Amino acid sequence: MRKVLMLSLLVALGLSACEKDEVSYPYSYVCYVVTDGTLRVYTEKGEVHDQDIKERFYNQMQKVISSGAGEDTYGELVITYHNVSDITIDGFGERHDGKAYKKDDVLIWEYPYKLKSYGWAPYSSLWPINYEVLPMPLTSGYSEVIEYNPCIFAKRSNGRVYLPMIQRLVLSYFYSDNQPNVYRTQDNNVYDYSFHDQPEFYMTENDTLVVYEYAIEMKKQ
């Protein structure tokens, strides 16, 4: 009798766990708030810790993010799950049927079409799932090209789902000693600071690199 009761209890617990894990489709993740992040400043001599300098760059970054202008904004993004792997990606004025993947704590939302690139951003730590490296003719000036399905990356942490974002600002005096060239990029990725230890990472005197990492929270509905 005791064994029967124990077996019944285990079955009941198992059913309860299954019910808890059930997912009702469809459901969506919608961008709804930008959270504050971490800003770091670098020069040829290393990381800058002067709070006044960091505050100035921080205010510049906030103006760019709050403007939400152009194709770089993720404010209108909606990801709809139809099942565990089939999704619809609504955003940037387009709608696509894509695929969803999960790798550790990263959700990967993949577009159905392919793009080509001559290399990944060296400071990125997240990469597309599906890609192929193809040889290029010598006349092209490149040895190879990467053909890949572009992705949107999200991370899960303590019940949160958010898009990791990088605002990167480079003030370079490489071509001029008087007026810097300004390069600004925005990436949906996680910054890999080990890139600074690589030979490809190079800064000339008076150059400044600003890295601002923040998140766009996703709301499930």
Instruction: Give the tokens for residue 2.
Output: 């005791």
In a domain, 106, yes or no: yes
Number of structural domains in the chain: 1
Instruction: Give the tokens for residue 164.
Output: 């990791």
In a domain, 1, yes or no: no
In a domain, 74, yes or no: yes
What's the domain range around 87? 23-220
SS3 32: strand
Q: What is the pLDDT of residue 72?
A: 47
Q: How are beta strands 78-81 and 94-103 bridged, if at all?
A: unpaired
Q: What is the pLDDT of residue 29?
A: 96
In a domain, 95, yes or no: yes
What single letter denotes the amino acid at residue 51?
Q
Ordered per-residue pLDDT tens for the chain, 221 residues: 444 333 333 334 343 444 445 789 999 999 988 888 999 999 999 999 999 999 999 988 888 777 654 334 566 899 999 999 999 999 988 999 999 999 999 999 999 999 999 989 999 999 999 999 999 998 888 899 999 999 999 999 998 999 999 999 998 876 666 777 889 999 999 999 999 999 989 888 889 999 999 999 999 99
In a domain, 9, yes or no: no
Q: What is the pLDDT of residue 68?
A: 57
Q: What is the pLDDT of residue 75?
A: 63
Q: Which of 139, 171, 160 is nearest to 42 (CA)?
A: 171
In a domain, 195, yes or no: yes
List, as one string, the DSSP characters of 106-166.
EEEEE-SS-EEES---TTB----SSEEEEE--GGGT-SEEEEE--EEEEEEETTEEEEEEE
* Sign of the four-CA dihedral 123, 125, 126, 130: positive
